Amino acid sequence: MPEKVIEVEHLRQTYDGRTFVVDDVSFNVAKGEIYGLLGKNGAGKTTTIRTMTTILPVHYGKVRILGMDVSENAEKIRRRIGVVLQNESFDFASVERNLKVYGMLWDVPREVLKARIEEVLEVFDLGPLRKVRAMELSGGQKKRLQVAREFIHDMDLLFLDEPTVGLDPIMRRSVLNYIRDKARRGLTVLYTTQIMEEADYLCDRIAIMNRGKIVAEGTSSDLKAKYGDLKTIHVVVSGDIDYESLKSKFPEDVIVDNEEIRIVSKNVEDILPDLIIYLKTKDIRIERISVEESSLDDVFLKVVS
């Protein structure tokens, strides 16, 4: 049986003593696993993370991190975890000094620290910015520094609370690959994001939170199979489309955008032949046609709404 790094049992958290922002949440994360916690704003993700990282006390339920109860071993746990907060955090110093000071705070030996600084400066493309003061960086650059800084020290478990906000697609992919590489070497990661593609690409398992509860959990494929029974037909045509006529013929979810038609339905196999015949009778030429499986976005929308 794989070693459990995170064990959350019936966690309930409240700020005012009346409403529960986290309400009966339970999940486990195994060693080396990347676990995605998804949910819209206010779903309870950050409160759950703050509890697991010992910032907030456990009100009801049980939370064990690396085999230790968070209520009893907060400091021991903090020595073995890394946390990239959702909000920006940095010292008023250059990029390089931020990394050096952070390494010193974690008591990283000098030679190791030197090598790690060079590594993260390269991976996170911060080399040309090493002498720039953190407060002068752009939002995306600050985020890169914040994520890079956490890889300066050793850890068994990493919490990443929306770490790619503001990053360009190339850097985002590079960061995700770096995290995946670390997980393959045994690092356990708890990852929250609003970007479903990221969760799909990175996470071994995903939990979707809504109003303080976990409403769906599983691998990306499991979730798509369970909740993603909708498919989308994309048709690119040349010729004028009469939206009203199309809508009356296909009362499903029809979207017309210039010369592109999109129909979302459970029964694409039935609709597709009818659509082709319809377009032919209207003398509309089909340029391209495709059918797409539902994405994690569709699953999320369905589960959360």
Partner 1 sequence: MMPPSLRLTARNLIINTDPGTLLFLIGLPSFYLIVLGLMFQALIPNVVFDGRSISYAQFLSPGVVAMQPFIAGSIGGSMLWSDRRWGMFEQLLVGPFHRIDYLLGIIYVSMIFSVGGALLMFLVSYLLTGFVVHYLVNILLIIVVLLVSSILFTSLFLVLSVFIRTIQTYNTVTMFIFFILDFASSAFYPINGRTPLGLRIVSYANPLTYIVNSVRDMMFARLTGSDLVYVGVVVILSALFFVFAALSYRKAKI
- Give the one residue of 14, 30, 32, 55 binding partner 1; rule: CB under 8 A: 55
x-or-dash pattern for partner 1, window 80-109, by CB under 8 A? -x-x-x-xxxxxxx---x---x--xxxx--
- Could you tell me the smallest distance in angstroms from the CB atom of residue 128 to partner 1? 23
Which burial class, exposed, middle or buried, applies to 208 when counting CB atoms under 10 A from its CB (0-12, 13-18, 19+)? buried
Question: 140, 147 in Cβ contact below 8 A?
Answer: no
- Binding-site residue total for partner 1 (CB under 8 A)? 22
Residue 270, token pair as written in the block? 């039935």
Residue 112 within binding range of partner 1, rule CB under 8 A? no
Q: Where are the beta strands (DSSP E) in the chain?
A: 4-14, 20-30, 34-38, 60-65, 68-69, 81-84, 157-161, 188-193, 205-210, 213-218, 231-238, 253-257, 260-265, 285-292
Alpha-carbon gap, residue 134 to 282, rounded angstroms: 61
Interface region with partner 1, contact rule CB under 8 A, candidates 15-23, 52-60, 162-170, 277-285? 52-60
Q: Scanning residues 156 to 195, which ones bind partner 1 (CB under 8 A)? A: none
Backbone phi and psi for residue 173, each to the nearest 5 degrees, phi listed first: -65, -40
List 13, 47, 54, 193, residue binding partner 1 (CB under 8 A):
54
CB of 97 to partner 1, least distance (A): 7
Q: How far is the CB of 142 from partner 1 (least distance, A)?
A: 10
Q: Work out how close the CB of 218 gets to partner 1 at its nearest, in angstroms, rounded to a whole number.
A: 29
**Which residues are 84's β-sheet partners?**
160
Shortest reach from residue 130's CB to partner 1, in Å:
16
Query: Please, what is the minimum distance in Å from the beta carbon of residue 92 to partner 1?
Result: 6
Q: What are phi and psi of 114, to 5 degrees?
A: -60, -45
Q: Which residues bind partner 1 (CB under 8 A)?
A: 53-55, 75, 78-79, 81, 83, 85, 87-93, 97, 101, 104-107
